[in-house]
């Protein structure tokens, strides 16, 4: 029976000893955010790959042993979980345009300090992301992840049932992307408006692999709840976007140089802390689609004509 004082707890944790033979996940919170020791310098055999996929289903974000990766190894790691996807509008690594590069320093202050899932403004957002921090500040620069399965499970049954019947509209146009794209050129901005129009997603989604119910709205890209009065939409979104930030749902990860994380983009939201200016922080990331699917284009930035164009401002300014 539901009781709000118990709702944030995990009663039956994942049976790690029985489920895993080739890797040993170490969750940092109950059934969330697991560390995994693994050597990526050698090819991974299929049993290890399958257990990594199972660990992502179980724990929603994984932190792998810090180690140097070549671009080819980074892309291979992402492909363990699904085909490499198109990514967002971030700049690309010159030799490997499937790898996005997010560089922050004194000239380009950090600006991804808001809760979101990536690219929810696509009809089919990517399934996840494999990221590596190749340069980190001496202090600060953590990334926080929030579990959307935990956030939904802790809601009262009546509110859960109400939310299951709703859809919400997502668009990049209400985010900081608009100014960034405008600085890539008017044609790039217009191409983005024409190509990536607002989309509607269910407010509650059932994860296709884990079966968990997921809360699927965020403060960055969710514009409104569909087909309800505007005030109801505003208040429901305000409540949900504050609800999901509770410490019981959130893990803040302190990076090491060459640290690696893989997260489930449906089951989590993330927030990059902006507490290290004027120091440098560089991350390289590869998005991936669900297994069995294909990315529709080489990458999002190329599709709107922005590949190789340098913005006069950093994202968020």
Catalytic, 270? Answer yes
Q: Is 111 exposed, middle or buried (0-12, 13-18, 19+ CB in 10 A)?
A: middle
Catalytic, 116? Answer yes
Distance CA 74, CA 145 (A): 21
Q: What are phi and psi of 170, to 5 degrees?
A: -120, 140
Beta-carbon contacts of residue 12 (< 8 Å; ≥ 6 apart): none
Question: Which member of 108, 253, 270, 281 is catalytic?
Answer: 270
Catalytic, 6? Answer no
Question: Which member of 74, 108, 116, 223 is catalytic?
Answer: 116
Question: Which member of 201, 223, 281, 285 is catalytic?
Answer: 285
Question: Which member of 118, 201, 264, 281 is catalytic?
Answer: 118
Point out which residues pair with 133 in neighbouring strands.
259, 283
> Residue 208, Cβ neighbours under 10 Å: how many?
12
| Torsion sign over Cα 183, 187, 190, 194 | negative
Catalytic, 3? Answer no
Catalytic annotation, residues: 116, 118, 270, 285
């Amino acid at each position: 029976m539901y009781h709000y004082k118990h709702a944030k707890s995990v009663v039956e944790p994942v049976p790690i000893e029985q489920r895993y033979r080739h890797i040993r996940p170490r969750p940092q919170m109950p059934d969330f955010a697991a560390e995994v020791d693994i050597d990526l310098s050698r090819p991974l055999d299929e049993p290890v790959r399958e257990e990594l996929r199972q660990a992502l289903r179980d724990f929603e974000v994984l932190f792998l042993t810090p180690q140097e990766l070549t671009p080819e190894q980074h892309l291979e790691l992402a492909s363990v979980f699904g085909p490499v996807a198109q990514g967002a509008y971030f700049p690309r690594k010159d030799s490997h345009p499937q790898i996005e590069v997010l560089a922050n320093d004194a000239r380009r202050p950090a600006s991804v300090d808001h809760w979101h899932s990536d690219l929810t403004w696509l009809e089919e957002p990517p399934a996840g992301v494999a990221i590596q921090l190749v340069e980190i500040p001496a202090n600060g620069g953590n990334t926080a992840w929030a579990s959307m399965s935990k956030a939904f499970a802790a809601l009262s049954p009546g509110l859960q049932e109400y939310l299951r019947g709703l859809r919400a509209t997502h668009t990049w146009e209400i985010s900081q992307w608009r100014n960034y794209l405008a600085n890539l050129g008017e044609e790039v901005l217009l191409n983005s408006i024409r190509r990536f129009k607002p989309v509607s997603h269910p407010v509650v989604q059932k994860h296709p692999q884990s079966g968990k119910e997921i809360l699927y709205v965020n403060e960055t890209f969710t514009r409104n709840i569909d087909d309800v009065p505007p005030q109801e939409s505003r208040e429901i979104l305000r409540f949900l976007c504050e609800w999901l930030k509770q410490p019981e749902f959130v893990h803040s990860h302190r990076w090491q140089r060459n640290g690696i994380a893989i997260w489930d983009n449906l089951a989590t939201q993330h927030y990059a802390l902006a507490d290290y200016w004027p120091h440098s922080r560089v991350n390289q990331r590869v998005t991936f689609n669900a297994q069995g699917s294909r990315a529709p284009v080489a990458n999002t930035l190329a599709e709107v004509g922005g590949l190789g164009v340098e913005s006069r401002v950093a994202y968020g300014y």
